[in-house]
Amino acid sequence: MKIAFMFPGQGAQFIGMGKDVYEKYDCAKKVYESASQILDIDMCKLCFEGIRTTYRSNGEIQENVLDKTENTQIAIAVTSLAILEVLKENGIKADVAVGLSLGEYVALIYSGIISFEQGLKLLKQRGYLMGNKVEQGNYAMAAVIGLDSKKIEDVCQKMRENGKFVVPANYNYSAQTVISGYEDVIEEIMEVLKEQGAKRVIKLNTSGPFHTEKLNEAKRLYEKELEKVKFEKGNVKVIKNLDGQYYKDEDNMVDILSKHIVSSVRFDKMMKKMVEDGIDTFYEIGPGKALSGFVKKEIKDANVVSISNVESIESIINA
Question: What was the pLDDT predicted at 162?
Answer: 96
**Residue numbers in the chain where pLDDT is lower than 70:** 54-64, 207
Rounded distance between C-alpha atoms, residue 262 and residue 215, angstroms: 6
Query: How far is residue 212's CA from residue 56's CA, in Å, rounded to a whole number?
Result: 34
pLDDT for the residue 64? 52
Instruction: Give the pLDDT of residue 226.
Output: 97
**CATH superfamily membership of 3-133+214-318:** Malonyl-Coenzyme A Acyl Carrier Protein, domain 2 (3.40.366.10)
Q: What is the pLDDT of residue 127?
A: 95
Give the whole-angstrom CA distance, residue 35 versus residue 26: 14
User: What is the pLDDT at residue 52?
Assistant: 79
With contact defined as beta carbons under 8 Å apart, do 131 and 69 qualify?
yes
Please list the helix, strand and coil fractions of the chain in percent, rounded to the nearest 5, in that order.
50, 20, 35
What are the residue ranges spanned by the domains of the chain? 3-133+214-318, 139-208
Selected catalytic residue, list 101, 149, 263, 308: 101
pLDDT at 257: 98
* C-alpha distance from residue 93 to each of 5, 63, 85, 132 (Å): 8, 37, 11, 37
pLDDT value, residue 242 = 96
Give the residue from 147, 167, 171, 189 showing the smallest Cα distance to 267: 171
> What span, in angstroms and rounded, lies between the C-alpha atoms of 196 and 76?
36
Q: What are phi and psi of 182, to 5 degrees?
A: -60, 145
Question: Of these residues, 211, 260, 292, 308, which one is catalytic?
Answer: 211
- Model confidence over 167-176: pLDDT tens digits? 999 999 999 9
Tell which CATH classification among 3.90.45.10, 3.30.70.250, 3.40.1390.10, 3.30.930.10 matches the domain 139-208. 3.30.70.250
> Can you tell me the distance from the alpha carbon of 301 to that of 39, in angstroms, rounded to the nearest whole number?
41
What local confidence, expressed as pLDDT, does residue 252 receive?
Answer: 97
- What integer pLDDT is reported at residue 58 of this predicted model? 54
Q: Answer yes or no: same fold for 3-133+214-318 and 139-208.
A: no
- Is 34 tagged catalytic? no
Catalytic site includes residue 57: no
pLDDT for residue 54: 65
